[in-house]
Amino acid sequence: MPAPPADRAADQPTALLVRRGQARAERLRFAALLERVERQSLHRLGFDDLRELAALYRVHAARLALARDRDDDPAAVRALNTLCARAHAALFAAGARRAARPWRLALRDALGRTWRTQVLAWALLAAGLLLGGALAWHDPLAVYALIPGGMGYGDEQLDALIASPAARAAFFERETLAATRKTLFGSFLFANNTRVGLLALAGGMLAGVPTVLLTLYNGIVLGAFASIFLRDPWPLAFLAWILPHGIPELTAICLCAAAGLQLGAAVAMPARAGRAAALAAAVPPVLVLFAAAVALFVVAALIESFVRESMWGTAPRLGVAALCVLAAAGFLLASRRAAGDRADTAWLAELAGGVHRSAP
């Protein structure tokens, strides 16, 4: 039975108050979400909050258009206009920034996707370091088997380094070299390191097994060589000799190993989509990681040529090493942070895209 006219008239103010209260609550929620985005980042919001932000943008853009048509409350129009302008900047300016910095965001995405394999690569390298160091420490004769001749250290030189502290001290003495010789030396180092990185990357196509073995082997060789100099009470000269170039070089090798492990996971564990689809998804971040590794190989070669082969003392070399440690730590932390910021928000623009033109 329909309500009497008097009852319907009495219900109208109540319904109007309810709608106004709901609109005010939505406006406060919209403003709170925008403050979070502006204070932190769009990527820091959870999925539900992101969806709510886009929906509230649509609602308030429609209310703004209606208020402009009525033109009965300039203050309300200004308030809605401000909220919609802020939301427009948060939702659509982020997309413009992504288009303007494709390389930076591709690297960020690659780091976020592969941080687990990066940790695994560092763990393999560390395991090799400990294994090679322990074997050579307990049996100095193992050094001859663990250090390949391709490193340029013959048996006689290794004999002297193992037996004589004076020979180890003389090992770090340097003579002044011409810049052309340093450049040639750096180019050789860059080519050799890049070859090692390529092998680690390509090994991923065989389910990552060669990548694992190569990363372990690199750690074993380095650990065995370091054990020779770590016998000294204060091996500062060795640390100043190896750390400045070793940190970017090992970081690059681990990036290549992480790229190879990523490919290996796609080959060995392709999931339901199939191996071809898994490889297609893995290749873009893998290529970005390798490009970043090549840049680090360049840095390592420059440091090895112009810092390690310089007449600098121990303190300046350790200073360069400290800077490299901080840069590497920041790089790895950025990898983990990027993993938490990988939420794809392109769907937000699609969800809110129907009204963005009405916003100022």
For the stretch 252-276, pLDDT in tens is 999 999 999 999 999 988 877 788 8
Do both 296 and 187 map to the same domain?
yes
Residue 88 is predicted with a pLDDT of 78
Do both 178 and 43 map to the same domain?
no
Do both 29 and 135 map to the same domain?
no
pTM, 2 dp: 0.68
Phi, psi of 174 (to 5 degrees): -125, 150
Do both 150 and 77 map to the same domain?
no
Do both 85 and 154 map to the same domain?
no
Residue 359: pLDDT band by 50, 70, 90 thresholds? Answer: very low
Residue 191 is predicted with a pLDDT of 92
Query: Has residue 323 been placed in a domain?
Result: no
Q: Within 13 Å, how many C-alpha atoms sit on residue 268's CB side?
A: 13
Pairwise CA distance, residues 346 & 151, whole Å: 50
Among 287, 340, 355, 284, which residue's Cα sits nearest to residue 115? Answer: 340
Query: Has residue 27 been placed in a domain?
Result: yes
The residues, ordered by sequence, that sit 6+ positions from 190 with a Cβ below 8 Å of its Cβ are 297, 298, 300, 301
Residue 43 is predicted with a pLDDT of 64
Of the given ranges (59-68, 123-132, 227-236), which has the lowest mean pLDDT? Answer: 59-68
Q: How many domains does the chain have?
A: 2
The three-state secondary structure class of 353 is coil
pLDDT of 285 > 70? The answer is yes
Do both 121 and 249 map to the same domain?
yes
Residue 357: pLDDT band by 50, 70, 90 thresholds? Answer: very low
pLDDT of 42 > 70? The answer is no
Do both 108 and 169 map to the same domain?
yes
**Segments forming the whole domain that contains residue 26:** 5-100+345-358
Among 297, 308, 188, which residue's Cα sits nearest to residue 238? Answer: 308
Inter-residue long-range contacts of 345-354, CB under 8 Å, 24+ positions, other chains counted: 345/42, 345/43, 345/50, 345/94, 346/95, 348/42, 348/50, 348/53, 348/54, 348/91, 349/91, 349/92, 349/95, 351/51, 351/54, 351/55, 351/58, 352/54, 352/57, 352/58, 352/87, 352/91, 354/58
Q: What is the mean pLDDT of residues 281-287?
A: 90
Do both 75 and 175 map to the same domain?
no
Tokens representing 32? 């709170």
Query: Has residue 214 been placed in a domain?
Result: yes
Residue 343 is predicted with a pLDDT of 46
Residue 248: pLDDT band by 50, 70, 90 thresholds? Answer: very high
Do both 189 and 161 map to the same domain?
yes
Q: What is the mean pLDDT of residues 298-307?
A: 90
Among 339, 254, 289, 296, which residue's Cα sits nearest to residue 103? Answer: 289
Residue 355 is predicted with a pLDDT of 46
- Per-residue pLDDT reduced to its tens digit, 201-215: 999 999 999 999 999
Per-state percent for the chain, helix, strand, coil, to nearest 5: 85, 0, 15
Share above pLDDT 90 across residues of the chain, in percent, rounded to a whole number = 30
Tokens representing 237? 């000269």
Let me know: does 215 contact 291? Beta carbons within 8 Å.
no
Residue 72 is predicted with a pLDDT of 67
Query: Has residue 335 been placed in a domain?
Result: no
Tokens representing 54? 């886009």
Do both 107 and 95 map to the same domain?
no
Query: Has residue 155 been placed in a domain?
Result: yes
Q: Which of the pair, 37 or 286, is modelled with greater confidence?
A: 286
Query: Has residue 287 been placed in a domain?
Result: yes
- Cα dihedral 4, 8, 14, 18, rounded to 10, equals 120
Among 43, 98, 115, 97, which residue's Cα sits nearest to residue 285? Answer: 115
- Per-residue pLDDT reduced to its tens digit, 171-221: 888 777 777 888 888 888 899 999 999 999 999 999 999 999 999 999 999
Query: Has residue 331 been placed in a domain?
Result: no
Q: What is the mean pLDDT of residues 11-37?
A: 77
Pairwise CA distance, residues 83 & 146, whole Å: 66
Do both 285 and 249 map to the same domain?
yes
DSSP code of residue 270: -
Q: Which of the pair, 267 or 23, is modelled with greater confidence?
A: 267
Residue 35 is predicted with a pLDDT of 84
Task: Work out the burial of residue 97: count CB atoms within 10 Å of its CB; fewer than 13 is exposed, 13-18 middle, 19 or more buried.
Answer: exposed
Q: What is the mean pLDDT of residues 342-356?
A: 48
Query: Has residue 329 been placed in a domain?
Result: no
Pairwise CA distance, residues 286 & 256, whole Å: 8
Do both 144 and 271 map to the same domain?
yes
Share above pLDDT 70 across residues of the chain, in percent, rounded to a whole number = 82
Pairwise CA distance, residues 205 & 195, whole Å: 16
DSSP 96-143: HHHHH-HHHHHHHHHHHHHHHHHHHHHHHHHHHHHHHHHHHHH-TTHH
